A and B are shown apart, each in its own frame.
Chain A
Amino acid sequence: KRHLAALVAKNRRRRDLSEAGYMAFSKRVLKWRLIGEGYSSQLSIEDQRYIFRLAFRMWSEVSPLQFVEDTRSPLEDVDIRLGFGTGRHLGCNQRFDGTGQEFAHAWFLGDIHFDDDEHFTGPNTGSGISLLKVAVHEIGHVLGLPHIYRPGSIMQPSYLPQDSGFEMDWMDRRAIQHLYGGCKGRFSTVFDWIRKEKTPYGEVVIRFNTYFMRDSWYWLYENRNNRTRFGDPVALQIGWRGIPADGVDAYVHVWSRKRDAVYFFKGTQFWRYDNENDRVFRQDPEGHRYPRSISEGFPGVFSPIDTAFYDRRDARIYFFKNTLVYAFDVEANSLARGFPRSIRDVFPAVESGDHPDGNVDAAYFSYTHNTVFLLKGTRFWRVVGSRERRRRPSLQRNGLLPHKEVDEQWFDICNVHPTALRL
């Protein structure tokens, strides 16, 4: 009891007012542990730890919090402690009631207790109570969420048998982000990847997927659902074989009547991607070996670059480097006349002073929005297109509309702790 009292005193200081003025954890990386005296008798220890790793990761995927399992530090330095018990348990003054009714409880100070008289089961097991679902719920309490009665909320007080795969819905995500803010960060590149598919009737259809890349991992963004794919981010080397594992500077898809080539750029080199075999070319059909030097493949363009995109309207690749823009004519295989030019000339500010001013992180043509976006830091600028000019003819061609925050347009692109990348 004295030990717990010391923990209480210490843990009180870990809570502070969040950005929204609510009580929440004040730090962004939290340590957790399944305590040794609190193992369940129903699942193997490894299964229990795996389920908790997954539960914490699910919260990481929708919030700016990261969680790391800590099995070494002194217990008082661990932020969230989990354990199983029955009846009187783990020094807790809230006795469990046996099989049925109460299955777990959690405390703001970071302890989560599970009633081991309940029949807890692993994910995707038909009967029993899903430990994963209960853990996600209780972690929600530890983070500061109350019970929510909305159907579909993970914070409903009563347990509902798990659907084939439960996930955090839109409102639950907003609830946790109300406490801790949205997920922000710079991106290495953003692109829509075109792929061709054959229907059962043999017709070829064109589809695209949106990808956000940051350093050594990436997310697939589901535009129709306004969120990332469940379970992302993924390590770059898993989904994009052969490109630098620590990240890229740019992605360009040259797509015209005569050409269809995907390139990744990093440093002074670039790679061509083989969509058919889902990896980079070592040697493409034209006989070029990769990686190639940017100066060799795109004469006149100085590397390393910040980012690039291909504009199908004029068949040019626009390379961005510092405050300059290099427009490369793909057909002529040379820089377009008059380039390089200042970014402010090529993409003038619609509102004076509201401009990225160079060193852009990503240039992204979105098929969803049919427009180009320039991203820098946590902000983005939308490039004036034909639709905007129809509404406001006074807008300059390729002007940059006033900036917005990336996380107000693309939601929940959240990091997880590196140890959680592979569970």
Chain B
Amino acid sequence: EMDDDLDEAFSRLAQARTNP
């Protein structure tokens, strides 16, 4: 479950960096 959270956190980071 923590792994899923981390996966999600990296997706959010990449998304935020692409569309600040």
Indicate whether A and B interact.
Answer: no
